[in-house]
């Protein structure tokens, strides 16, 4: 399956390369909306590739850090998760208001 997928990508790449290298001039008008759509598509691909590279970079960095015994959180201070509630005594003003 992996070999078939690689061959299909290679065939598609060869077809597109041949199309661009040996294509005839169309002398066609390119509408501005097509250009805008093309810019959006290229931007989407760039963002997606950046996200994938970032994910794999973090995974590789984590594996290398584990192999070398490097701990990123070594010098960080960690706060405790304790939440303490204290009950205050009512003030004298509150007691006077209750009596009235």
Residue 87 lies in a domain: no
52-90: string of b/e by CB count within 10 Å (b at 16+)? eeeeeeeeeeeeeeeeeeeeeeeeeeeeeeeeeeeeeee
Give the separation between CA 90 and CA 100, rounded to whole angstroms: 16
pLDDT at position 82? 84
Residue 28 lies in a domain: yes
Residue 32 lies in a domain: yes
Residue 92 lies in a domain: no
**Among residues 27, 43, 46, which one has the least CA distance to residue 35?**
43
Q: What is the residue-averaged pLDDT of the chain?
A: 83
Residue 47 lies in a domain: yes
pLDDT tens readout for residues 8-55: 888 888 888 888 777 777 677 778 888 899 999 999 999 999 999 999
State if pTM tops 0.75.
no
Domain, as residue range, for 8 = 2-68
Percentage of residues in the chain having pLDDT higher than 90: 28
- Report how many domains make up the chain: 1
């Amino acid at each position: 399956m992996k070999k078939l997928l690689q061959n299909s990508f290679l065939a598609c790449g060869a077809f597109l390369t041949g199309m661009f290298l040996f294509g005839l001039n169309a002398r066609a008008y390119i509408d501005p909306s097509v250009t805008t759509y093309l810019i959006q598509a290229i931007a989407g691909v760039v963002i997606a590739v950046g996200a994938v590279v970032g994910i794999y970079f973090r995974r590789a960095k984590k594996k290398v850090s584990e192999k070398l015994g490097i701990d990123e959180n070594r010098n960080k201070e960690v706060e405790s998760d304790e939440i303490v509630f204290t009950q205050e005594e009512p003030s004298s003003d509150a007691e006077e208001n209750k009596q009235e």
